[in-house]
Amino acid sequence: MNVYLLRHASAGTRRTNPKLDDKRSLDKDGKRHCLLLGHVLSNMKIQFDAVISSPLKRAVQTASLVGNETGFEQKIVFSSAMLPDAGYAGFERLINEHAGCEDILVVGHEPNISTFVGKLAAGGGKNARPAHIRMRKGSIAKFSLERGRTELQWLIEPRSLRALYASSTKSSRRKTSRK
């Protein structure tokens, strides 16, 4: 099973009122980033069997935009296990519930998304001491979970994503003059 952990894209300034912050939308850069990420993942031939998101608006928008760009046509699953204050045990249960899937996209928030990525990078499990891995807004990490073994395959940050997108849209044909 491949698990793709994605931190929601840019959503502007955090609100001091928690109810308003829960409804915060992606900003223009965040939406653009999601479309770029979806394009790059699609070019990598990645198709998700399940997309799971925190129920907060910015995460739902991220999951929806990336899912659409990769051809995901099913309903997004909303899970409180991906809320900003959720613990690792809930995340682990969530992954186990989708064990029959080959590729799943999970969209969440800080501070827990970095903790989840760090624990998986350290081998997973409740007692694993998490590796320190910073997940910037819009970063995505791919993990392979096979027979009790967890392996980080790659992590793409926004700056690297822009370079990947630029290289994926350039023609592979050499430019020649037509004089």
| Separation CA 117–CA 142 (nearest Å) | 9
Angle between helix 158-169 and 28-43 (nearest 10): 60
The structural domains of the chain, ordered by start, are 2-167 (3.40.50.1240)
- Condensed to tens digits (0 to 9), the pLDDT of residues 115-140 reads 999 999 988 766 778 888 999 999 99
Instruction: Output the pLDDT for position 171.
Output: 53
- Condensed to tens digits (0 to 9), the pLDDT of residues 19-43 reads 766 788 899 999 999 999 999 999 9
Instruction: Output the pLDDT for position 43.
Output: 92
Which ranges of the chain have pLDDT less than 70?
18, 20-21, 125-126, 170-179
0.85 cut: is pTM over it? Answer: yes
